[in-house]
Structure 1
């Protein structure tokens, strides 16, 4: 799995090469925050290839940080316990009972599985949550549907990030794997959308790239009437589109917008169902999916 910086490397599974890409020297030592979520998280093969990609980024001289979701797993556990799963404005309505389940599943199951997959390649990954060392501080997030406020419970919006622990792990050569749970100044624990948590952490770490994995090919130009994907757009252009987006895509694109306006040089939304999407998005000359860049408004580009 090793590769020299500045040279090409390849992913191997069962001795068979699958992907060869050049390691771009200009990205050496750059922080890349990757949000892992969606149905790819419940596919064992995609979990393994994702872990390979993250380790390959490390071998390429980058500093990957993983922020994971866990929506499908949380919903499955809520179903088993007979508790309701409900979403408003693209976010899970989080009662105190739901919060207990989310915290348990995210930190006790999902994070441990992901850490295990990464560490099958060596002693790289260290699991933590936004609660640890007050890494993430949140306040209750308001939400609106059709212009009216709705109560979504213990859903948090991050208002402060202390990246000291994450930076220390990176400097020690580790790959932090972060669960999106944060504490408020009042001691209340909040469920934070993983897309927005990844975005906030990317800004605080002065990351070069933010990568969002999802279950679609990217941001569609005219959904549901067309499946043409917008391959590149600026922050201003995205800001204009944001009110029109479907609820499932809204947090991801909001996260991308916050990131590039906060100093992240590029944000990608990639199809996590495609093996090695992370490597192709970060190290490939042309990224699949949708790329958001800083800059003034310009027309969105689609095939």
Structure 2
């Protein structure tokens, strides 16, 4: 999604899916945009196990970028492409309640999803509109937290009773050999992907993605896919073809 052309293509595909009767919900982060602003402010970007270390200053930047810039940009693009989008963060309509990560001492204001109340989303979806959700939320006391967008997507999919969770990323999917792009795993079940994690074949930023897929499947989502968002129309290929466009994980 760093490419303006690819971003426009994904938006058009999302609108097309909505027009043919699917009910998509878009959840986003904004890692590259956050990194740009942090760099401009001379705030170092740090990561642990694929998650952004978020102190108080970084949390301000995350909220500013995700809610104030990225969300509005995506909503504007979807509206321009012919659908109706509604921008939200996890704090709107009490959609999400956050809790600190178990590794809060190392990660700072990085949160997990404690609860999802899909009431506001269901209303938007029932009206034929596309919710666009920024992955920030507050805890019971109003403290904002940065939550991994994939994690939010998985929890929202489960709460809505979604049929399919799709994560767009910048790799082909899950690889049997991380050094070999041709070793893509097209389909795997929960047991198989857990074994790959245990064997160290899945690591880094892919771990939160795999974990959120497993959680969503355990809560009733039918399939979860990790696909290459750098490939034009990968979203349509994943949904509308038998071949797909990445790795599909099944229960």
Q: Structures share a fold, TM > 0.5?
A: yes
Which sits farther off after the overlay, 53-62 or 241-250?
241-250
Q: 1:89 aligns with which of 45, 49, 70?
A: 49
Q: 1:139 aligns with which of 96, 99, 113?
A: 99
Q: Give the alignment's TM-score, normalised by structure 2.
A: 0.96
Runs of 4+ in structure 1 off by over 3 angstroms are none
Q: CA RMSD in A?
A: 1.3
1:290 aligns with 2:218: no
- How many pairs were matched up? 249
Q: 1:215 aligns with which of 166, 170, 184?
A: 170
1:74 aligns with 2:31: no
In structure 2, how many angstroms separate the alpha carbons of the residues matched to 1:226 and 1:44? 24
Give 1 or 2 for the bigger CA radius of gyration. 1
> 1:227, CA displacement in angstroms?
3.9
Unaligned runs of 5+ in 2: none
Q: 1:178 aligns with which of 114, 124, 133?
A: 133
Would the aligned equivalents of 2:99 and 2:113 in 1 still touch at CA under 8 Å?
A: yes
Unaligned runs of 5+ in 1: 1-39, 144-148, 295-303
- Equivalent position of 2:4 in the other structure: 44
- Equivalent position of 1:56 in the other structure: 16
> 1:122, CA displacement in angstroms?
2.3
> 1:121, CA displacement in angstroms?
2.1
Q: How does 1:116-155 map to 2 (within 5 A)?
A: 116-143=76-103, 151-155=106-110
Would the aligned equivalents of 1:235 and 1:261 in 2 still touch at CA under 8 Å?
A: no
Q: How does 1:228-247 map to 2 (within 5 A)?
A: 228-243=183-198, 244=200, 245-247=202-204
In structure 2, how many angstroms separate the alpha carbons of the residues matched to 1:232 and 1:222? 15
The structure with more strand, counted as a fraction of residues? 1
- Equivalent position of 2:220 in the other structure: 263
